[in-house]
Chain A
Amino acid sequence: MSIAWYLAVSAIVFTLGALGVIARRNPLVVLLCLELMLNGANLALIAFSRLWGNGDGQILALVVMTVAACEVCIGLGMIVAINRRRLPIDVDELRELQG
């Protein structure tokens, strides 16, 4: 398959992730949709890496995976802290930063 097909799949996955970040209200699902966006970007990076026959894109994809793992770590920690304070698990109702 040509590289363009992979790029089209990457664009669709990224768009679905962005749509979920906009439309969903549960912060757990928002984090999952952020993962979708990062994975779409990863697919594009690896497709371009294959296009040039160069490993730099794969290294960048690995770094993106590390950043995604850190983001999951912090985000889930925040959700556990929110749940422990019996606050609503809903990004619409958590719009104020003041504890």
Chain B
Amino acid sequence: MSAALFFIAAAGAIAGAVGVVLLRDPFYSVLALVVHLVCLAVLFLLLRAEFVAAVQVVVYAGAVMVLYVFVVAYVGGEGDRFEIGRLGERLRGSGPGGSRARLGGAALGGALLLELLIALLGTGLKGISGHGAGYSPGPRTFGTPAYIGQLLLTRFLLAFEVASFLLLVAAVGAVVLARRRGGIDDADAHEALAPLDLAPPRDAGTMAEGVGRPLAPAQARAEGALEARARSARSSPRYPLR
């Protein structure tokens, strides 16, 4: 039973990871990561880490992934959809230098996997082929919330406090980073048109206009502003995601 559950969860976790790396649309990558996280939580449960599995599902698959989905929707993932037939082309990459970069990445990844497997499985640890230390179910045994809470508030109090302070700093930093600035190169801040700019100038529609008199300053300003707005709308398209 436990072995079957392990193989199902491990296959799900690896398939989710492959999906995150290969899917072209960032939204689908986020969904694949949710699958990966839930399968990983099952693996944590099999390793008797009940509290960490619960935190994984609640915090990661719940809160952090919602944040990701919001940002993907905000940034606008206009990627092309997943098609099996174009998978090879996607892996080889497109554009100059793309194929070499992908090939180098694959070679590096293979080397890394080999090295990790040697380092993890080739150690002299005898317990690595066993099932781990003894375990007896109980209310305060290894991995339960009571056990983790006691450790966090006694031996690891400093780590606990530092982690909470780190979260505070990150929240403040995110607000500062994503805040709307009044800077000069903020592309969203167009120069606002005043209502008076749109009113027809004093001598519009008169004989003076017909004989080619220079435009009144207010009209020239309004036309200039309209033209600048049209130009900025033309020249700053949203860049497509890759």
CB-defined contacts of B171 to chain A, threshold 8 Å: 73
A46 partner, pick from B29, B44, B241, beta carbons under 8 A: B44
Cβ-closest chain B residue relative to A9:
B10
CB-defined contacts of B60 to chain A, threshold 8 Å: 65, 68
B166 partner, pick from A5, A47, A62, A70, beta carbons under 8 A: A70
**B59 at the binding interface (Cβ < 8 Å):** yes
Q: List 14 A-B contacts (CB under 8 A).
A: A13-B14, A15-B113, A22-B108, A23-B101, A26-B242, A28-B68, A32-B68, A36-B36, A51-B128, A74-B170, A74-B173, A76-B68, A86-B187, A89-B239
Closest 7 CB pairs of A and B: A53-B133, A70-B170, A77-B177, A19-B109, A77-B174, A20-B21, A22-B105
CB-defined contacts of B204 to chain A, threshold 8 Å: none
Q: Given contacts A6-B43, A76-B71, is CB(A58)–CB(B52) below 8 Å?
A: yes
Query: Digit string of A46-64 for contact with B (CB within 8 Å is 1, else 0)?
Result: 1101111111101101110
B binding-site residues for A, Cβ under 8 Å = 2-3, 6, 10, 13-14, 17-18, 20-21, 26, 29-30, 33, 36-37, 40, 43-44, 46-49, 51-52, 55-56, 59-60, 63-64, 67-68, 71-72, 74-75, 77, 79, 93, 101-102, 104-106, 108-109, 112-113, 116-117, 120-121, 125, 127-135, 142-143, 147-148, 151-152, 156, 159, 163, 166-167, 169-171, 173-178, 180, 185-188, 236, 238-239, 241-242
A70 partner, pick from B43, B116, B167, B238, beta carbons under 8 A: B167
**B132 CB, nearest partner CB in chain A, Å:** 4
CA distance A66 to B236 in the complex (A): 37
CB-defined contacts of A81 to chain B, threshold 8 Å: 177-178
CB-defined contacts of A39 to chain B, threshold 8 Å: 36-37, 40
A29 partner, pick from B29, B127, B135, B186, beta carbons under 8 A: B29
Are B132 and A51 interface neighbours, CB within 8 A?
yes
